[in-house]
Structure 1
Amino acid sequence: MNPGRLRVGLGFRRELIPALKTRVPEAIDFFEIAPENWIDLGGAAGRDLRAFTERYPFVCHGLSLSIGSPAPLDEVLLHKIRQFLDQHHILFYTEHLSYCSDDGHLYDLLPIPFTEEAVKYVAARVRRAQDILGQRIALENASFYLRAPITEMSEADFIRAVLTEADCDLHLDVNNVYVNSMNHGYDPVEFIRAMPTDRVVYMHMAGHHNEADNIIIDTHGADVIDPVWSLLDQTYNIHGVVPTLLERDFNIPPLDELMREVEHIGLIQSRHINASHVCAAS
């Protein structure tokens, strides 16, 4: 691991802890965790996390803030997250631009209506969240399978509007762009080109499942496929290289197998960084 840079990361899964205790591969620059899975966790798992956050950079990616929900913003959770971020010296925090709760937890990420009213509503909640956390957050473009019944603008326009209104950053999930483009019939490169470069601070790569000929499910449970690798390459070409994480939440293979994909992210990054240096020198 190289803590002096922040380019390629891996999700910190409990299944991987024994292998990581033995050796953290040099290609991993940082780890990511979902704070909801670790807040108030004691015992051996809590001690393991503390041992790693004291030595290596960590990012937090939230699961349940439900930023677009009609339910009140969970400020109790936000205060717990802030304490957790401070306790473990977390570099930054991201959440999904979606919602997953109303009267109760829905256990899925649902799309927000792409409307002006929703832009203002979500942005106000993001600003409040940033005030409580004491830092800017990044919102992740979410995968979705049914469009919201009320739509006044495109997904890309909606994301840009929320980022501007809330004055927050973008966590660009490249696989989610690919999944949505296949399910909803748009050009993924044009979508990525429409994102504001100055707000793109973080990226995700992951695998998915082909449920049927006309639907792909974002699972984080399979290897990244070639078209998504190609899309990452094009994304770096458009927006430049930013910290990028490999998500693998299910069907987790041994660490050595995961490292092939982590190293592939680094290889693509190095190619773009080297090319930019050549251009700057010429």
Structure 2
Amino acid sequence: MHTPPSLQGAGLGLRRALLPELLALDSGAVDFLECAPDNWIGVGGAYGQGLAQLAERFPLACHGLSLSLGGPAPLDHAFLRQIRVFLDRYRVPLFSEHLSYCADEGHLYDLIPMPFTDEAVRHTARRIGEVQDALGRRIAVENISYYAAPYQAMSEIDFLQAVLSEADCDLLLDVNNLVVNACNHSYDALDFLARVPAERVACLHVAGHYDEAPDLKIDTHGASVQSDVWALLVSAYRYLGPRPTLLERDFNLPPLPELLGEVQHIRTLQTAVSARELRHG
């Protein structure tokens, strides 16, 4: 099985609305970009040319949206073949998908949480293995934000650990999702983080959320990263080391310099943790 090289540094989500500005970006402004292949497979014209140009200048990670890893329907192997061609064409070092399902006799256009059960572990791990075989590479799965769970025979972190072990796959740790879930489901984010298998963490995500109430956060990807997410990111770096980290922003896009400021803040935190590690040996 092909194991692609690792990402490094701080990256930014590639959105079509940002394409003209990204094409004019200095090479050192970001360390990598990330796109959803679901939104780019088969795209030609100016957009397709722009993607190809960016992939020549920056490492391109891919974050899938619609495989429905935990779903009941058979995996779409025709689509998986398209993804594999896309990943190979752009020399993608990391492909990730959500630890959820998103289809039931048609796409649901949302990420639905899995029941935290042994049966769901086995089912999802088997499907992740099928995806890894189809793509010829290890993949990472992302912890999603959720507001209600269908059934919890085990905790979220126990479910996550079990899937990663059973599937022998990697983890894309979304720090914002962890902050959101810890608030909404009354658990300690640091305790969760301490039980994350560090050797499986391939990449981190940060994004913005909305504070609806003291005990309710809404994952929006439509705002700046909040202070509690930055604080947990620092804790993650101290535990994991300065793993590659992506800034996600899906709508309410601010001027690009504002996004690049957040990317630079990620770099600053990574550098600070690296310097701390050197001092303490």
Please indicate the TM-score interval, normalised by the length of the shorter structure.
over 0.9
1:8, 1:29 within 8 Å by CA — same for their partners in 2?
A: yes
Is 1:201–1:242's contact at 8 Å kept on the other side of the alignment?
yes
Q: Which amino acid aligns with 1:12?
A: L
Structure 2 distance, partners of 1:198, 1:60, is: 20
CA contact 1:204–1:246 (8 Å) conserved in 2:
yes
Q: Distance in 1 between matches of 2:36 and 2:7?
A: 22
C-alpha contact (below 8 Å) 2:40/2:48 kept by paired residues: yes
1:1-282 matched pairs, under 5 angstroms: 6-24=8-26, 26-148=28-150, 150-280=151-281
Amino acid at match of 1:276: E
Q: Give how far 1:23 is off.
A: 2.3
AA in 2 matched with 1:235: A
Q: Which amino acid aligns with 2:178?
A: V
2:7–2:59 contact (8 Å) kept in structure 1: no
Unaligned runs of 5+ in 2: 1-5
Distance in structure 1 (CA, Å) of the matches to 2:92 and 2:212: 36
SS at match of 1:179: helix
Q: How far off is 1:92 after superposition? A: 1.2
Shift of the 244–70 alpha-carbon distance from structure 1 to 2, 3 Å rule, reads same
CA–CA distance in 2 between the matches of 1:233 and 1:213?
23
User: Residue by residue, what CA displacement relative to the aligned partner does 1:25-67 show, whole Å, maximum 9, x if unpaired?
Assistant: 6241000000000000011100110111122101000011110
Aligned partners of 1:246, 1:208: CA distance in 2, in Å?
A: 13
Matches of 1:239 and 1:278 in 2, distance apart?
17
Q: Displacement, 1:15?
A: 1.6
User: Structure 1: which amino acid aligns with 2:189?
Assistant: P
Q: Report if the CA contact (8 A) 1:8-1:27 is conserved.
A: no
Could you tell me whether the CA contact under 8 Å between 2:23 and 2:53 is conserved in 1?
Answer: no
Deviation at 1:89, TM superposition (A): 1.1
- In structure 1, the residue corresponding to 2:123 is in which secondary structure? helix
* Offset at residue 21 of structure 1 (A): 2.2
Distance 2:23 2:83 in 1: 26
Number of residue pairs aligned between Structure 1 and Structure 2 = 276
**Distance across 1 between alignment mates of 2:144 and 2:214:** 21
Q: Give the SS at the match of 1:144.
A: coil
Task: Provide the C-alpha distance between the structure 1 equivalents of 2:270 and 2:202, rounded to a whole number of angstroms.
Answer: 14
State TM-score, norm by structure 2.
0.95
Q: Quick one: structure 1 residues 17 and 248, their matched pair in 2 at CA, closer, same or farther if it must change by over 3 Å? A: same
| Aligned counterparts of 2:81 and 2:160: Cα–Cα separation in 1 | 26
**Would you say the 8 A contact 1:114–1:154 is kept in 2?**
yes
Shift of 1:277: 1.8
